[in-house]
Amino acid sequence: MIIDPVQVLKTSVRHVIPTAVPTHVAPIPSVIPDRPELQFAEDSGKRTLWVVFVIMVIASAAFAAMSWRVPVAKRLYHVITTLIVIFASISYFAMATGHGVSVHTTVIRSQHEHVPDTYHEIQRQVYWARYVDWALTTPLLLLDLSLLAGLNGAHITMAIVADVIMILTGLFAAFGTEGTPQKWGWYTIACVAYLVVVWHLAVNGRAQAQAKSQNVGKFFVAIAGFTLLVWTAYPIVWGIADGSRKISVDSEIIAYAVLDLLAKPVFGIWLLVTHAKIPETNIDLGGFWSNGLGREGLLRLNDDDGA
């Protein structure tokens, strides 16, 4: 019997070299740090910032022009409302030029059963200039509504203080540490402070406005309800943007831009036009507001020697 050596070699190689056998072992996650995920504003977000800046500047000029048509003693609403859009203009210019933004780094930890935990780093832009804007403009908005309703000094003070607390704690939450109670703790405090603001406007403000006149009561309910509805959308946007990062920075910018336009220029034109039609909303300020310091308020040099 003759043995073919080539055939023997093929048979041996077939048994020596292992073949690929399908397995059901899950892939092992890499423990090597990956590149950070960058969540930055793109072209659409940057263009939106510039567009809103221009609109705010136009609104500032329009409200200032409207104030020139009324006596100085009756310009209180006009002055407050003009300042609101001026501050907003400055804020949007800062954000559009890249001077009102910081990068917040968040590390996401993923736990696994049989291998070490993995970490994913996210770097997201936080526009802190927006919070500076809100810290200045929302108290002025509240002051407009409080004066319209006729709230007393105590209620106005408490509403404004609660509003400032709401804005500052929202800023702290935006830079909060991921995976700790800190971030959502600040957010909860901000929401509670917002409920205090709502209570002062919806309960005290509504009662005082209706006591002034039926027209003032109807107007206050309409514009205050509109304002609270718009303001309620802000924490919702924050929760899905800075809070949980469910939407992009561009989407966040666009969402806040729409809300800011409704809460400032639209609110302002509605307030000033309707205020001109309802005489009961007038606040006539004389004295220093319209006339300045009189000669009787000046200190004369010979007052001390009794001459």
The answer, yes or no, to whether residue 303 has pLDDT greater than 50, is: no
pLDDT band at residue 36 under the 50/70/90 scheme = confident
Say whether domain 34-282 belongs to CATH 1.20.1070.10: yes
Q: Mean pLDDT check: name the lowest of 83-92, 99-108, 161-170, 211-220.
A: 99-108
Closest C-alpha to 68, from 57, 59, 79: 79
| The pLDDT of residue 306 | 46
Question: What sign for the dihedral angle of Cα 198, 202, 208, 212?
Answer: positive
| The pLDDT of residue 242 | 83
Tokens representing residue 237 in the block: 């946007």
Closest C-alpha to 89, from 37, 45, 51, 123: 51
Model confidence pLDDT, tens digit, residues 188-236 = 999 999 999 999 999 999 999 999 889 999 999 999 999 999 999 999 9
285 vs 247, which has greater pLDDT?
247
- Chain position carrying tokens 């969540």: 39
Q: Which helix (H) or strand (E) holds 246?
A: none
| The pLDDT of residue 122 | 79
DSSP symbol at 282: -
The answer, yes or no, to whether residue 10 has pLDDT greater than 70, is: no
Q: Which residues contact 176 (CB under 8 A, 6 or more apart)?
A: 182, 183, 184, 185, 186
d(CA 127, CA 242): 10
Share of the chain above pLDDT 70, in %: 79
pLDDT band at residue 113 under the 50/70/90 scheme = low
pLDDT band at residue 37 under the 50/70/90 scheme = confident
| The pLDDT of residue 12 | 53
How high is the mean pLDDT of the chain?
84
Contact 285, 73 (CB under 8 A): yes
Query: Starting at the edge strand that comes first in sequence, how are the strands of the sheet with 102-110 ordered?
Result: 37-39, 118-126, 102-110
How is the chain split among helix, strand and coil, in percent rounded to 5?
Answer: 70, 5, 25
Model confidence pLDDT, tens digit, residues 163-195 = 999 999 999 998 887 767 788 899 999 999 999
pLDDT band at residue 123 under the 50/70/90 scheme = confident
pLDDT band at residue 307 under the 50/70/90 scheme = very low
Contact 186, 176 (CB under 8 A): yes
Considering the entire predicted model, what is its pTM?
Answer: 0.81
| The pLDDT of residue 196 | 95
d(CA 118, CA 182): 22
